[in-house]
Structure 1
Amino acid sequence: MNVLRIIALLLFGVSARAQMQPFALQDVRLTGGAFMNAQDVDLKYILALDPDKLLAPYLIDAGLPLKAQRYGNWESSGLDGHIGGHYLSALAMMYASTGNTELKKRLDYMVTELARCQAKNGNGYVGGIPQGKLFWERIHKGDIDGSSFGLNNTWVPLYNIHKLFAGLRDAYEYAGNQQAKLVLVGLGDWFIELIKPLSEEQIQQVLRTEHGGINETFADLYILTKNKRYLETAQKISHRSLLNSLLEKQDKLTGLHANTQIPKVIGFEKIATLTGNTDWSDAAQFFWHNVSGTRSVAFGGNSVREHFNPINDFSQMVKSNQGPETCNSYNMLRLSKALFLDKADPTYLDFYERALYNHILSSQHPQKGGFVYFTPIRPNHYRVYSQPQTSMWCCVGSGLENHTKYGELIYSHSDNDLFVNLLIPSTLHWKEKGLKLTQNTTFPYKNESGLALQLTKPQTFAVNIRYPKWAEKLEILVNGKAQKIDGKPSEYVSINRKWQKADVITVRFQTATHLEYLPDGSNWAAFVHGPIVLAAKTSTDDLVGLFADDSRMGHETKGKLYPVTSAYALVGNADQYISRIKPVGNLTFSLDSLTLQPFYEIHDARYQMYFQTFSQTSFDEQKAKLKQQEAEALALEARTVDKVNCGEQQPEVDHAFKGEKTQSGYDDERFWRNTRSFISYQLQNRNRVGKFLVISALDSIKAGDVSFLLNDKPAEIIASDGKIIRLKAVDDEVITLKIIAQNGKNTPRFSQIRLLNDH
């Protein structure tokens, strides 16, 4: 029996509510369309990477000779080894989805090398974290200084090692590599010994740092071994700060780093299925409904500058070039899948399908390959794509995986019945029933799908066809004969009969276009046709850094921000907005001078996905106001040489943040960081044009409570005005700002540091 199926049975047992089971990726093959193209393009990207370069951080830490130098970018600047874990997962799942033997060869080789590193270390540990042994020894001794992304001034080490845990699990589950299971168990045992001396409070302090789904992987270890200490550890390393708020049905997500939270909740849900703890599962559902319903935009993504924005204000997302992060949707799909299988509720598939088509599919370049980190909804902006030899971001790691597993939920099953969940051209082999099903469809370009059954013998079971939330006038025919539709949208239509060897099911429906407004109730809306988000190419100008170099911030666009006031707006009566778009082709529409098409088709261009809607009067008033605000904001950006948003993960990493006895948070719609010791940042003063540092805080900055050093010398204060202080910059290419607390008191909550070329 397939490993995944065994795990599903272990997870779900025989409970009445948990009948739904996934098919193994080996049982499903894509046969055409955009998803198969994405899979093929991803395969080329996977094969373009060098396993020895990805293994180098592990060999370095184990003290073994290198076979190749490690990759640069994030793989040699603190997050060393994280792509290696993702790569194991991608190899395993792509092998399961395609049967490509080169993938299996690479996977087996990497696991063997990791086992060699583990043997050299001698205690079960294997990792690529810089100075890993020294780092973990400090943690073992209870020497813990953690913030949201740094632990003992090390970049998200638990997040990093979680990728290896997950990669080893996937190597065993999807590709049957027995050695991977042995290495995984050894690593898990090492971790249990690592945290054994720590109190519950100390463990929770460690978990303040981004740690991926480390609790989920210990639940997986329990599934694989039946050893209860792994399940106990999974519960012990579940982050109580988030869990407790979810148990109380409280939304405390605003301002939190989004992708730090989602994997924790996947762990909560898996632990719930193993323990029967309905409270934890209810907490996971509460989180899912909150994020999918109030924090996600039309294409399924969430967050701005990697953090959850207020549910009643998406304005920063509309303005930012750092829109929803692809990793977030990667994990929201994993959570949606887990809840769907647990609850057998196709409502989860409505979101899953929306994010799959519009975010995941759009996040890879369909010809050249390359993965997207941020997908801005700012009008007339664009996305950046990774390259195999230069880009080692988190969204490259999850991106490698995203396009390997499109077959995971096209179909599912109970003990006897089949469920058709997604309209994607594919074949299914259900060996236990002697069934081969071939789905022929060109959806979303044609609103029809044909399902051809091939059976070794006639047999009775139900084929359950998902009735999508967006489908209109659903028709189902068996061998050309119309069937009674006994379901409603977001349910299944069940056809229970004795199926013959060559029966054919035809599914037909209609789709319509509607406007979907941002969850904050503002006047920004996107055109959505069925489940497909439509957008317009607006320009191919100034696409600076379209394909990323190896710079630290290569994943962020560098091109000009076009004023939001210049974007196309829908002006007039609201009941006429939809009637203004005219079909001009297959899923293509005209909107005055613009052409709307599926967002996932738009690449190498600036685009507009969201449109402001106005009456004529409000349009005239708003345009004048926004033009002035935009001009002021753009003028400030033009004067800015470099800036740090304090308390935000990526800007702090990018500016070499260091600190002791420091905290961060989110208040008054701004992130902040303070300290009772010190914090420091490095700012780049390109061509030495920066003349002034402007430091903003949420509290008054009092001279006696804080001091400032620039390149280790006392800073010259030019002006101090309540919550803003201005310093004279030093004439160096790199400026290190150190902020020091006085007398052990907390400094003000600093929110932003700007290096300006004038006042």
Structure 2
Amino acid sequence: MSHVSRRGVTRRTLLAGASALVVAGRASAALPADRITKVAPVPMRDVTLKPSPFADAFAANRRYLLSLDPERLLHNFYVSAGLPAPRPVYAGWEAQGIAGHSLGHWLSACSLVVANTGDAAVAARLDHALAEMARIQAAHGDGYCGGTTVDRDGKTVDGKIVFEEVRRGDIRTGGFDLNGGWVPLYTWHKVHAGLLDAHRLAGNRRALPITLGLAGYLAGVLEPLSEAQMQQVLRAEHGGLNEAYADTYALTGDPRWLRMAEKIRHRAVLDPLTAGRDQLAGLHANTQIPKLIGLARLYELTETPQHAAAARFFHDRVVRHHSYVIGGNSEREHFGQPDQLSKRITEATCEACNSYNMLKLTRHLYAWQPCADWFDTYERIQLNHILAHQRPDTGQFVYFMPLAPGARRSYSTAEESFWCCVGSGMESHAKHADSIFWHDVAPAGALYVNLYIASRLDWRDRGLALDLDTRMPAEGEATLTIRRAPRAVQRIALRMPGWAAGATVALNGRPAAATMRDGYAVIERRWRAGDRLRVVLPMRLRAEPVADDPSLVAFAHGPLVLAADCGPASAAYDGMGPALAVDGPAVAALRADDAADVHRFTARGALGEPLTLSPFYAQYDRRTAVYFPTFTTAAWVMAKPGYLRAQAERQALARRTVDVAYLGEMQPERDHLFTASKPETVQLHGRSARKLRAGETITLTLRRRPGAAVLRVVYWGDQVKDRALTIRVDGTPVATERREGPAQEGFVAIDYPLRAAGEQGKSAAVVQFAGETGEIDLYEVRMMSAVEAESPSLT
């Protein structure tokens, strides 16, 4: 084998009109030729996933998409238009002012499924939703079609009032609201983008007229605004509105939409990036990424070089200076200082929406410059974050991907969550076939194999068909078998990943005559049915240190990030996370486990405990440790006493704990007979919670031991002040929680002593929380055996 090194309805009807994501929609002769895009993905209709973790994720996601009722997602839309709502609204975010964002992602996800597989059931469900949206829009009569609501004087009113106020120049925002509405422009973008995808990808003829009505209504609101007024509007999170208008221009050639796309430029963020300045620290991460995707799209349509400069600079800064080892970014949804991650490895790292959007941005940049490095980034995020964030059995999603030692994943519920990351998750797992194969836009160009995902290609436009068989990421080998080929010479370019030093390529069992170009092994020949290309990508173990603390390392094997198994997610974790004492390189602490798969390693922790490391993404129901403090054996002698003290405190808590319920999570709530007068799940500060308002109740049952006990409740610190709730245990009032003094920072655990119950023979306690004033989020309720009185402590 040659050694290559790496350098720096019918299906056809349903798919009519569907096209690739990056270059979709060049429908109007009014547009100039796209001279920017050098490569494009092979249309999804030509790619079929074979059995793999990606196919499992796609199938689970399809089941979830079909389980959702579009009439429930449209509930607020009907009400806004004065039409009877045939079905009740969903709970969670859908029951709040942000209703509609899920619908937009659902439209896009369904369109992706139809574009990929021609799925008749999904296409029919999509068509019904669009028919209802057309009816709703017609009832408004002005192009409006939205589900935003807003609270005014204690009443929930139609959010259309926000847009009409803005039209008049009445603009108020605190960053995540616009005139009191929760991110109405963000939600509007999701719907606009979903309609565009229904037109471009699913080929549904209902979608474009709705899109143009929607675009026209909002443009009518924003066009009269002065530059200063527009910048005030853009302080509110507005998603990728600039991208949506740019794509609408690309479809129609109407310059009105291009003017709108360029008007939606948030200068406070985009001007510094255009100038090459990283001022991201403190900014809400996912608010910013779509703005850069929009600039990238505008660059493709206008060739304005500043747009490209900003997009490239932003991508480089986020990937190289603001991202964790799994490819995700942000802590508690915000960027920190560049290259300062060691103190930001918490339970609130890596919001999934951020990675969804970074993958979109990466595709644009790759389309302009087809170098394999872009897909090294793409692969890292897709394998280690996106695959990790969806349970392949239920199809439910994780908001934050916690990287703190001993952390576990908190999954959405089917009908009570609808977080932003549920919406983007629907899309992420509908598009696993969209970036495997790319091609040169120029005629007779190369076919690029960018992702080694088991699949079948039937490339109709070029007459090439092949099978890509691989067990990636489980092993570093792949075989391409030609089934059909054109008579002309065809180039196939195989990505040689940066992690695969010493990769080899063979053609029909012999070393391939490959030319290396931009990180690809390029083989040019007249292909024949039965030709086989075999790629071997050696997987080696490596340590990746944190920039601001090189003694804190993560491990990867080939493309996969490894994590230590810290026990089942259902069990409490009483450790600090494993440390390693090793003289020499950190990888010397790990040993391959020959009895298991190639990605399984063992190690001995600094305290002598056995450790097993395996791919992080697949540890769906385990607590994990991704980053490891490392010491030389001499340094460990000095550090050990402090480490042991902190470990002992955690272990003491574990011994005292009888039972614990994590609120806002499906299985823990079921296990504790959870009921609520108004069940609203929230995901804030890196954890799930239940919101309790005045007049509402939450009840659950926890185990207890005989004798006195302590009930520990975890709140968010600034919510305890000036708000009140009453706690009852077995019907007896225990406390009315109302704290005076300054608000506390972070999570706060407050203990409530309970009387001895052993003589009554009770093994369980019914705990009820009743809201008195304001609203409080309840994160965790823990039943513990009693010790001497303790003061409230930060967790």
TM-score by length of 2: 0.78
CA contact (8 A) 1:460 1:497 kept: yes
CA contact (8 A) 2:18 2:115 kept: no
Residue 538 of structure 2 corresponds to 510
Q: Which amino acid aligns with 2:357?
A: N
Distance (Å, rounded) in 2 between the aligned partners of 1:255 and 1:192: 31
- When residues 103 and 631 of structure 1 are mapped into structure 2, their CA distance, relative to the original with a 3 A threshold, is same
CA-to-aligned-CA distance 1:126-175 (integer Å, 9 cap, x gap): 00001122121111111111122111121111111111011101111110
CA-to-aligned-CA distance 1:220-271 (integer Å, 9 cap, x gap): 1001101111111101012111111101111111111111111111001111
- When residues 683 and 166 of structure 1 are mapped into structure 2, their CA distance, relative to the original with a 3 A threshold, is farther
Secondary structure of the corresponding residue to residue 692 of structure 1: coil
Q: Post-superposition shift, 1:340?
A: 0.7
Distance (Å, rounded) in 2 between the aligned partners of 1:137 and 1:185: 19
Q: Does 1:531 align with 2:559?
A: yes
Residue 463 of structure 1 corresponds to 492
CA-to-aligned-CA distance 1:594-646 (integer Å, 9 cap, x gap): 2211112111121111111112343344454567789999999x9xxx9xxxx
Distance (Å, rounded) in 1 between the aligned partners of 2:223 and 2:45: 39
Compare 685-694 and 41-50 and name the one that shifted more: 685-694
Distance (Å, rounded) in 1 between the aligned partners of 2:221 and 2:652: 52
CA-to-aligned-CA distance 1:260-296 (integer Å, 9 cap, x gap): 1111110011111111011111111110010111111
Q: Does 1:350 align with 2:350?
A: no
2:89 corresponds, among 51, 67, 70, to: 70
Aligned 1:132-151 pairs, distance under 5 A: 132-151=159-178
- When residues 144 and 67 of structure 1 are mapped into structure 2, their CA distance, relative to the original with a 3 A threshold, is same
CA-to-aligned-CA distance 1:299-323 (integer Å, 9 cap, x gap): 11111111112224324432x3212
CA contact (8 A) 1:311 1:519 kept: no
2:619 corresponds, among 598, 602, 611, to: 602
Q: Which amino acid aligns with 1:375?
A: M
Residue 237 of structure 1 corresponds to 264
- When residues 492 and 298 of structure 1 are mapped into structure 2, their CA distance, relative to the original with a 3 A threshold, is same
Q: Does 1:367 align with 2:367?
A: no
Distance (Å, rounded) in 1 between the aligned partners of 2:230 and 2:438: 38
- When residues 627 and 136 of structure 1 are mapped into structure 2, their CA distance, relative to the original with a 3 A threshold, is farther
Secondary structure of the corresponding residue to residue 224 of structure 2: coil
- Kindly report the root-mean-square deviation, in angstroms, between the aligned alpha carbons of the 2 structures: 3.4
- When residues 686 and 311 of structure 1 are mapped into structure 2, their CA distance, relative to the original with a 3 A threshold, is farther
Q: Does 1:692 align with 2:743?
A: no
CA contact (8 A) 1:539 1:605 kept: yes
CA-to-aligned-CA distance 1:544-588 (integer Å, 9 cap, x gap): xxxxxxxxxxxxxxxx67453xx1111121325335322332222
- When residues 634 and 654 of structure 1 are mapped into structure 2, their CA distance, relative to the original with a 3 A threshold, is farther
CA contact (8 A) 1:681 1:737 kept: no
Distance (Å, rounded) in 2 between the aligned partners of 1:531 and 1:480: 26
CA contact (8 A) 1:686 1:733 kept: no
CA contact (8 A) 1:438 1:451 kept: yes
Secondary structure of the corresponding residue to residue 362 of structure 1: coil
Secondary structure of the corresponding residue to residue 46 of structure 1: helix
Compare 405-414 and 467-476 and name the one that shifted more: 467-476
Q: Which amino acid aligns with 1:607?
A: T
Residue 710 of structure 1 corresponds to none
Secondary structure of the corresponding residue to residue 160 of structure 2: helix
Secondary structure of the corresponding residue to residue 408 of structure 1: coil
Distance (Å, rounded) in 1 between the aligned partners of 2:648 and 2:336: 24
Q: Post-superposition shift, 1:387?
A: 2.0
Residue 37 of structure 1 corresponds to 56
Compare 520-529 and 595-604 and name the one that shifted more: 520-529
- When residues 446 and 241 of structure 1 are mapped into structure 2, their CA distance, relative to the original with a 3 A threshold, is same
- When residues 529 and 331 of structure 1 are mapped into structure 2, their CA distance, relative to the original with a 3 A threshold, is same
1:92 corresponds, among 95, 101, 111, to: 111
Could you list the runs of 5+ residues in structure 2 that have no partner in the other structure?
1-15, 150-157, 605-609, 657-661, 663-683, 694-717, 729-734, 746-768, 777-790
Distance (Å, rounded) in 2 between the aligned partners of 1:73 and 1:199: 36
Residue 583 of structure 1 corresponds to 593
Residue 521 of structure 1 corresponds to 549
Aligned 1:14-163 pairs, distance under 5 A: 18-130=37-149, 131-163=158-190
Q: Which amino acid aligns with 1:100?
A: D
Q: Which amino acid aligns with 2:284?
A: H
1:452 corresponds, among 481, 505, 522, to: 481
Compare 449-458 and 412-421 and name the one that shifted more: 449-458
- When residues 113 and 17 of structure 1 are mapped into structure 2, their CA distance, relative to the original with a 3 A threshold, is closer
CA contact (8 A) 2:64 2:395 kept: yes
Residue 311 of structure 1 corresponds to 338
TM-score by length of 1: 0.82
- When residues 578 and 650 of structure 1 are mapped into structure 2, their CA distance, relative to the original with a 3 A threshold, is closer
Q: Post-superposition shift, 1:71?
A: 0.3
Aligned 1:434-513 pairs, distance under 5 A: 434-455=463-484, 457-487=486-516, 491-513=519-541
Which of the two has greater helix per residue?
1
Distance (Å, rounded) in 1 between the aligned partners of 2:773 and 2:193: 39
Could you list the runs of 5+ residues in structure 1 that have no partner in the other structure?
544-559, 643-647, 658-673, 675-679, 699-730, 739-755
Distance (Å, rounded) in 1 between the aligned partners of 2:22 and 2:558: 35
Secondary structure of the corresponding residue to residue 209 of structure 1: coil
- When residues 280 and 309 of structure 1 are mapped into structure 2, their CA distance, relative to the original with a 3 A threshold, is same
Secondary structure of the corresponding residue to residue 473 of structure 1: coil
Q: Post-superposition shift, 1:48?
A: 1.5
CA contact (8 A) 1:572 1:614 kept: yes
Q: Which amino acid aligns with 1:492?
A: Y
Secondary structure of the corresponding residue to residue 392 of structure 1: coil
Same amino acid, percent of matched pairs = 35
Q: Post-superposition shift, 1:691?
A: 4.6
Q: Does 1:325 align with 2:351?
A: yes
Distance (Å, rounded) in 2 between the aligned partners of 1:344 and 1:420: 11
CA contact (8 A) 1:655 1:681 kept: no
Q: Post-superposition shift, 1:73?
A: 0.8
Distance (Å, rounded) in 1 between the aligned partners of 2:317 and 2:589: 32
Residue 633 of structure 2 corresponds to 616
CA-to-aligned-CA distance 1:341-371 (integer Å, 9 cap, x gap): 1222221111100000010011111223211
Q: Post-superposition shift, 1:493?
A: 1.4
Q: Post-superposition shift, 1:491?
A: 1.0
- May I ask how many residue pairs the two structures share in their alignment? 666
Q: Post-superposition shift, 1:27?
A: 1.4
- When residues 541 and 469 of structure 1 are mapped into structure 2, their CA distance, relative to the original with a 3 A threshold, is closer
Aligned 1:408-447 pairs, distance under 5 A: 408-414=434-440, 415=442, 416=444, 417-447=446-476
Q: Does 1:167 align with 2:167?
A: no
Distance (Å, rounded) in 1 between the aligned partners of 2:616 and 2:331: 19
- When residues 611 and 277 of structure 1 are mapped into structure 2, their CA distance, relative to the original with a 3 A threshold, is same
Q: Which amino acid aligns with 1:515?
A: A
Q: Which amino acid aligns with 1:517?
A: P
Q: Post-superposition shift, 1:113?
A: 0.4
Distance (Å, rounded) in 2 between the aligned partners of 1:29 and 1:652: 36
Distance (Å, rounded) in 1 between the aligned partners of 2:334 and 2:568: 29
Q: Post-superposition shift, 1:735?
A: 4.4
Secondary structure of the corresponding residue to residue 210 of structure 1: coil
CA contact (8 A) 2:410 2:688 kept: no
Secondary structure of the corresponding residue to residue 515 of structure 1: strand
- When residues 125 and 653 of structure 1 are mapped into structure 2, their CA distance, relative to the original with a 3 A threshold, is farther
Q: Which amino acid aligns with 2:90?
A: Y
